[in-house]
Amino acid sequence: MHYSTLLRLLPLALCSFAVPASAVPSAPVSSQVAIIPQPRQLEQTENQPGFLLRDGIRVHYSVSRSEMGRAAIRALMAAGFSVLPEEMEGELTVRLLDAGETAVKGAYELEVTPQGITIGVYSPDADFHTAAQTLAQAVTQDSAGQPALPAMKVSDHPSLQHRGIMLDPCRHPISVADTKRILELMARYKLNTLHWHLCDDQGWRIEIKKYPLLTEIGSKRKESSCWIEQSKKDGKPVEFFYSQEDIREVVEYAHSLGITVIPEIEIPGHASAAVTAYPQLGNSDCPDFSPEVITGWGVFPHVMGPTPFTFQFIEDVLAEVCELFPRAPYIHIGGDEVPRDQWQKSPAAQAFMKEHGYTRESQIQDHFTHFCAQVLRKHGRLMVGWDEIMCAPQLPKDAVVMAWRGMDHARIAARRGHQLILCPIHSFYFNFPYGKNPADAFYSGLSGFDNIDCEHILNFNTTVPGDKVIGMQANLWSECIPDMKKLEFMLVPRICALAEHSWLYGSPDRPDYPHFSKRLEKHTPYFDSLNLNYRQDDGTPRHP
Ligand code: TNX
């Protein structure tokens, strides 16, 4: 601790010793805790006195001092703890465990007795936060009706380092405030990664100082298609982007909740908005080249042209992006659904192929992929891309593959030695309906995979031989999700099933669906406390 900090703390330390803590045991606690994701080892002493919350807990200053510690304390307070954060000694002790060889990020140990709470963590910040979520979820009532924690012992760690949600503010805007609310919900269930899809055909959503037209032009579209009848437009203009200040605010807020934000910049496809802002980015020598920010849904012909302007653009944009996301270990470069028609028709693209000895247009995409990997490496980052990036025959071994088209693609990526993140469309696409209830069709608007309910998410076979899986996430494409009411329905409670599958990925102890669903029932008061429009058990929305 810095000397001046110590001096500032001294009066507080004296004060805390003057007011010693004394915990009163609760009455017996009988109800079973219902933690999601289920901790690996959990022993609850039933029908015994536990820890009474009534008088509040004292937290060591080293915890309340850090940004993450403060966020954890906020989570505890929201769960009914009254926290006295500036005391030096108290009922909540955080001790550092000996990391040794086995330290896993996110691992924690927890013991609750009638006298106090001890949390053991390997790193005082993020892991304390994870443990605090378990505590927050464990709050119940003792037999006298007082808020209490049962006496219990937990030893827990996640299987996967990347447990996430992908948000798509391109198709429909998601405000900074709403993004923060989603981050809080993610943190509650120990999800630690937000994949932020920041540009697409229908809008460019991140301010880039060197290319102001990206947002001046690319963040605006005239109107939007309805999904069922694409020819029908709603006539409502959309205009939305995150300033760099907004981006920093979200990144820092996420960090305080133990969440890393991975940005995605789509290269070279899904590029209509970028090409509309800077036509030089496109294949402007194609016949009928007239880009516009797209108002419909689907896959569109505008892809980046392999020109010096484009490669410079990529370098510049990724440089700003790396600066804005200092903690992202990998940056997402898209790479999905890249039509090759414009490259076939563009004399400049054909000349580029000749110059490099390429015989197939797909090699232009490979070229872009390699270029991105090289640029990111200069910034000390890895590249992650949708599984189509594997069409590059010599894809750098350190490229991370996000497998969306199915488990076959995941297994191919693993066989080729890539680390991979699972988000197979068959079970982790939260834009598809839960089931066949009328509300499901209304809220999702999309069909194709119509049975993505919690049971399916938990039971879907995600086995990949070897140890290449580093993450799992759900994608929430937002063509048909124009507001938070819809978004909440699509996300909750599936987010809980995703959290459990990813936390306990590959573990033989992962509980079955009936066990999960019994615990889930006890989470509805939490959803209600946030006023969420979650999908209820009978398939109806909470707030129709
Ligand atoms: C495919 S999944 C896409 C998205 C769409 C989604 C749903 C993926 C990498 N690309 O652009 O939003 O289907 O329509």
Distance 477 CA to ligand 1 centre (A): 7
**Cβ 285 under 6 angstroms from ligand 1:** no
**CA 243 – ligand 1 centroid, Å:** 25
Whether 233 shows a pLDDT value over 70: the answer reads: yes
Q: Spell out the residues 6+ positions from residue 437 whose beta carbon is closer than 8 angstroms to its own.
A: 538, 539, 540
Closest-CA residue, ligand 1 atom 7, reads: 477
Q: Whose CA is nearest to atom 6 of ligand 1?
A: 477
pLDDT at 380: 98
| pLDDT of 396 | 93
Q: Can you tell me the distance from the alpha carbon of 504 to that of 306, in angstroms, rounded to the nearest whole number?
A: 43
Question: Per-residue pLDDT for 340 more than 70?
Answer: yes
With a 6 Å cutoff on the Cβ, whether 386 touches ligand 1 is: yes
pLDDT digits (tens, 9 = 90+) for 354-396: 999 999 999 999 999 999 999 999 999 999 999 999 988 789 9
- Give residue 86's pLDDT band: very low, low, confident or very high (50, 70, 90): low
Q: For ligand 1, what atom is nearest to the CA of residue 425? A: 2
CB of 296 closer than 6 A to ligand 1?
Answer: no
Known catalytic membership, residue 409 = no
Distance 263 CA to ligand 1 centre (A): 16
The whole-number pLDDT of residue 17 equals 25
DSSP SS3 for 478: coil
Choice from 302, 337, 428 to test ligand 1 binding pocket (greatest atom count within 8 A of CB):
337
Whose CA is closest to 460, among 406, 421, 420?
406
Query: Rounded CA gap, 374 and 246, in Å?
Result: 28
Band (pLDDT 50/70/90 cuts) for residue 78 is confident
What pLDDT is stored for residue 16 in this prediction?
27
337, 366, 398, 450: the active-site residue: 337
Output the pLDDT for position 14.
Answer: 25
pLDDT in tens, 153-197: 999 999 999 999 999 999 999 999 999 999 999 999 999 999 999
Q: 201 in ligand 1 pocket by Cβ < 6 Å?
A: no
Q: Which tokens in the block code for residue 48?
A: 């015994």
| Whether residue 479 has its Cβ less than 6 Å from ligand 1 | yes
Buried b (16+ CB within 10 A) or exposed e, 73-104: bbbbeebebebbbbbbebbbbbeebeeeeeee
The three-state secondary structure class of 257 is coil
Q: Tell me the HSE value of 170 on the side-chain side, using a 13 A CA sphere.
A: 31
Ligand 1 within 6 A of CB of 343:
no
Q: Which two tokens stand for residue 172?
A: 């429909």
Residue ID of nearest Cα to ligand 1 atom 8: 336
Identify the weakest region by mean pLDDT among 71-85, 173-187, 364-378, 490-504.
Answer: 71-85
- pLDDT at residue number 301: 97
pLDDT band (50, 70, 90) for residue 20? very low
426 as an active site residue: the answer is: no
Listed range (17-21, 224-228, 317-321, 414-418) with the worst mean pLDDT? 17-21
C-alpha–C-alpha distance, residues 116 and 118, integer Å? 7
For residue 337, indicate whether it is catalytic: yes
Distance 168 CA to ligand 1 centre (A): 10
In sequence order, the 6+-apart residues with CB closer than 8 A to the CB of 351 are: none
Sheet strand arrangement including 152-156: 41-44, 152-156, 108-113, 116-121, 92-96
Ligand 1: which atom is nearest the Cα of residue 479?
Answer: 12
Which atom belonging to ligand 1 lies closest to the Cα atom of 270? 11
Q: Exactly one of 60, 162, 172, 270 is catalytic; which is it? A: 270
Ligand 1 nearest atom to the CA of residue 388, by list position: 9
Distance 361 CA to ligand 1 centre (A): 22
Kindly report the protein residue whose alpha carbon is nearest to atom 2 of ligand 1: 404
Q: CA–CA separation, 173 vs 193, rounded Å?
A: 20
Atom of ligand 1 nearest to the CA of 200: 11
| Amino acid present at 277 | A
Ligand 1 centre distance from Cα of residue 187 (Å): 25
Averaged pLDDT of the chain: 91
Q: How confident is the model at residue 2 (pLDDT cuts 50, 70, 90)?
A: very low
Evaluate if residue 212 carries a pLDDT over 70: yes
Distance 298 CA to ligand 1 centre (A): 8
Task: Read off the pLDDT band of 100 (50, 70, 90).
Answer: low
Lowest mean pLDDT among 2-16, 48-62, 84-98, 228-242: 2-16
Cα–Cα dist 108/138, whole Å: 15
Q: Whose CA is nearest to atom 4 of ligand 1?
A: 477
404 C-beta closer than 6 A to ligand 1:
yes
Question: How many C-beta neighbours within 10 Å does residue 356 have?
Answer: 11
φ, ψ at 175 (rounded to 5°)? -65, 165
196: Cβ below 6 Å to ligand 1?
A: no
Q: Ligand 1 center to residue 177 CA distance, Å?
A: 25
Q: How far is the CA of 479 from the centre of ligand 1 (A)?
A: 9
Active-site hit among 142, 156, 200, 387: 200
